[in-house]
């Protein structure tokens, strides 16, 4: 296992571990959880608001420099040869395996799993990556004294209708809050203006935003190849960011497990089918919900106010529901309205 960065290293990411993501983690991560979110505040156009609190946690907030270091340490403890600060280059694939330069060493292996993100070298070497729609996000941090802490420390604020193709957010962390905006790739040149507007909407001086950085959001069209020969892509490298939420950690953990199973079984050809079976149904629903949220943000706020809908959303976040069709009967009418809006009917 190799990474060009020296650990611990930071990575642009909202840092939210949903309950469904936590179910697929290979180890306990309690030591790196900084906040637990049980409240969601959803607004449309910085005005129309719905505020709901769950009886159970919705999202565990962490920072990627802490989470990724913990996972790397756990892997090393299980016997993985982890090489950080080692760039992977000169990748060559053939019928019997793969070779690559890792740092200064030339390495030969039977399989290659690319977990190298939205701009990964493995996808390029394997001739993969077509069929991925890319969004873009920009985020920054502010210390708690910049916000009314009690309004934010256990809440996820989501702002719909403020960035084409996405949303704005305010997420709580240990000693700071994370503010960010994301949308379609063409919004890139305007993201800093969107971020400043988000900050002002929460009474934060944009000049106080620190550690501002951007990143791409790769979203896979259904059926897009994620493997070729003995190379398999997982997580962001495979474009597995959820189209609606922009989160990719659940998909990263699921795809990593499926890729490992395919490698152990010597069946890389079985990976794509298992990946589609695990993720495509939910991803299809997320694409529809994304269209509804982008076109009709106020309708989404209206739906969340309807009886049973927040419970259904909570169940999806916690992994208790696999698909919106499993929502309680009382929640289905407003969800069907959103589905029709997404179809344009």
The pLDDT, as a whole number, for residue 119 is 84
Residue pair 92/100 in contact by the 8 Å Cβ criterion: yes
Structural element, H or E, at residue 126: helix 121-126
Instruction: Check residue 6 and report its DSSP letter.
Output: P
Residue whose token pair is 């050809």: 269
The pLDDT, as a whole number, for residue 345 is 58
The pLDDT, as a whole number, for residue 192 is 98
Which two tokens mark 155? 């809440």
Residue pair 252/232 in contact by the 8 Å Cβ criterion: no
Residue partners of 39: CB distance under 8 A and separation at least 6: 51, 52, 53, 54, 58, 154, 155, 156
The pLDDT, as a whole number, for residue 146 is 96
pTM of the full predicted structure? 0.94
d(CA 136, CA 214): 7
The pLDDT, as a whole number, for residue 317 is 94
d(CA 13, CA 65): 10
Nearest to 160 by CA among 189, 132, 201, 206: 201
Residue whose token pair is 């989470």: 67
d(CA 117, CA 236): 5
Angle at 26 between CA 154 and CA 65, to 5 degrees: 55
Nearest to 134 by CA among 189, 169, 190, 186: 186
Residue pair 134/224 in contact by the 8 Å Cβ criterion: no
Low-confidence ranges of the chain (pLDDT < 50): none
Which two tokens mark 171? 């997420």
Nearest to 300 by CA among 160, 193, 198, 177: 160
Q: Which residues of 68-91 are buried (b: 16+ CB within 10 A; e: fewer)?
A: bbbbbeeeeeeeeeebbebebeeb
List beta partners, residue 216: 136
Strands (DSSP E) found in 144-188: 155-160, 167-172, 176-184
């Amino acid at each position: 296992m190799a990474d060009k960065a020296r650990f611990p290293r930071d990575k642009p990411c909202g840092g939210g571990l949903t309950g469904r993501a936590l179910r697929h983690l290979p180890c306990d991560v309690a030591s790196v959880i900084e906040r637990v979110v049980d409240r969601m505040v959803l607004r449309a156009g910085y005005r129309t608001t719905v505020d709901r609190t769950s009886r159970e946690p919705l999202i565990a907030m962490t920072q990627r420099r802490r989470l990724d270091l913990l996972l790397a340490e756990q892997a090393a403890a299980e016997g993985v040869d982890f090489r950080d600060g080692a760039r992977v280059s000169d990748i060559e694939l053939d019928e019997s395996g793969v070779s690559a330069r890792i740092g200064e060493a030339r390495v030969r292996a039977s399989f290659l799993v690319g977990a190298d993100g939205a701009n990964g070298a493995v996808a390029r070497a394997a001739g993969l990556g077509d069929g991925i729609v890319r969004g873009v996000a920009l985020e920054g941090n502010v210390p708690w004294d910049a916000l009314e802490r009690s309004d934010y420390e256990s809440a996820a604020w989501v702002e719909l209708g403020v960035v084409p193709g996405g949303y704005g957010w305010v997420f709580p962390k240990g000693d700071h809050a994370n503010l960010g905006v994301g949308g379609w790739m063409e919004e890139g040149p305007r993201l800093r203006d969107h971020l400043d507007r988000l900050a002002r909407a929460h009474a934060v001086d944009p000049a106080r935003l620190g550690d501002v950085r951007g990143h791409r959001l790769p979203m896979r069209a259904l059926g897009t190849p994620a493997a070729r020969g003995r190379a398999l892509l997982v997580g962001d490298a495979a474009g597995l960011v959820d189209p609606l939420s922009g989160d990719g950690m659940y998909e990263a953990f699921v795809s990593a497990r499926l890729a490992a199973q395919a490698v152990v079984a010597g069946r890389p050809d079985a990976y794509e089918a298992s990946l589609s079976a695990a993720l495509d149904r939910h991803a299809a629903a997320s694409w529809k919900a994304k269209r509804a949220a982008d076109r009709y943000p106020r309708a989404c706020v209206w739906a969340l106010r309807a009886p049973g809908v927040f419970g259904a959303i909570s169940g999806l976040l916690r992994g208790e529901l696999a698909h919106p069709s499993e929502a309680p009967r009382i929640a289905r009418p407003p969800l069907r309205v959103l589905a029709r809006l997404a179809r344009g009917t």
